Amino acid sequence: MKLLPTLGGFASALLMAMPAAAAEMMTEIGPGEGQIDIVAWPGYIERGETVAEFDWVTKFEEDTGCMVRVKTANTSDEMVALMNEGGFDVVTASGDASLRLIAGKRVQEVNVDLIPSWSTVDERLKNANWHTVDGRHYGTPYMWGPNVLMYNTDVFPEPPESWAVVFEEMTLPDGQSNEGRIQAYDGPIHVADAAQYLMYHRPELGILSPYELNQEQYEAALDLLRQQRKLVGRYWHNAFIQMDDFKNEGVVASGSWPFQVNLLKAEGQPISSTIPVEGATGWADTVMMHSEAPHPNCSYMWMEHSLSSNLQSDLSLWFGAVPSVPAACTDGRGMQTAEGCDANGFNDFDKINFWSTPISRCESQGECVPYYRWVSDYIGVIGGR
């Protein structure tokens, strides 16, 4: 599915009744306030404490005087909840959270004229419909990439060709069942992974987007997830717990992020990843500024830093993601290379179904099941209902 580069019916339907933003867009940057509080995905904000070479915080603090404090969130719903509580400056929001934050007036319009490195952003991302509404930008692109199938290479001598290994009961190449040895993501957006699988295996359902499901398509996805429930040993949302499960609890296959794959490989674990024949969902994350950010000047400084420093290059290598600034793959600002960006999927942008918030008035068909239903029904699936 090729994503629309500008505001489409999806965003329009969600935001058509939205009043003007609560905060006025800034027109100049003043002195830093001495601190910035960031809500981020695991592994997104590193200061060399995990691995000394990966540090894109220390120099920012030295240059600006803005001390970085980070609150890690493991799901988009957790990020939305934290931003609703307030007290944070920016969030690295994925597409299944960003429009909710805009519609709820929890983030403010960003003045890209105050961010000199905006001109270097990938043209595929500048006007992406998960942060751009009616030509107004509500953040700066950060990182993007696919949700991968992580697997144990001792069990799978060859990469699994299909997501069936985590959806269908089967005997794996080591002669043992997959029951109790697989995981699934502990978040309602996982419904889209089931829908992505059905798009390939049940074309008669007519699914055009895994985020736009009518009642019949939605019920089929839930049925697949209920089937998966019998196989799942644990639903994961903490990246480090998932890594421990692969090392010590006999888990051999799961949807995951390149971050876990890279860390486990670095430890010498028998781990690899693939994107199976059905394709993949994915994430395109945006640095969004809270509408009542306590430290707005430091926030703008961080947005510029996130685009202009070694962050884009080194985080791409660290997380296994694709930078939002293409030059970061080749200009030597950090450790990433052109080959590394290609391996992370730089040329696969149009093949990824990026996370989006499901709404009732959808673009591909007249009426779809909205996200609040995904939330309640997925809780039921996990609970065995």
Domains and CATH numbers, the chain: 9-145+282-350 (3.40.190.10), 146-281+358-382 (3.40.190.10)
pLDDT, position 4:
36
Pair type for strands 148-152 and 253-256: antiparallel
Cβ 148 vs Cβ 291: under 8 Å = no
pLDDT in tens, 225-248: 999 999 999 999 999 999 999 999
Residues 155, 230, 227, 384: is their CA dihedral positive or negative? negative
pLDDT at 8 over 60: no
pLDDT, position 22:
53
pLDDT at 339 over 70: yes
pLDDT at 13 over 60: no
Q: Mind giving me the DSSP string for 255-323? A: EE-HHHHHHHHHTT-SEEEE--TT-EEEEEEEEEEBTT-S-HHHHHHHHHHHHHSTHHHHHHHHHT-EE
Stated pTM of the model: 0.86
Residues 140, 143, 148, 152: is their CA dihedral positive or negative? negative
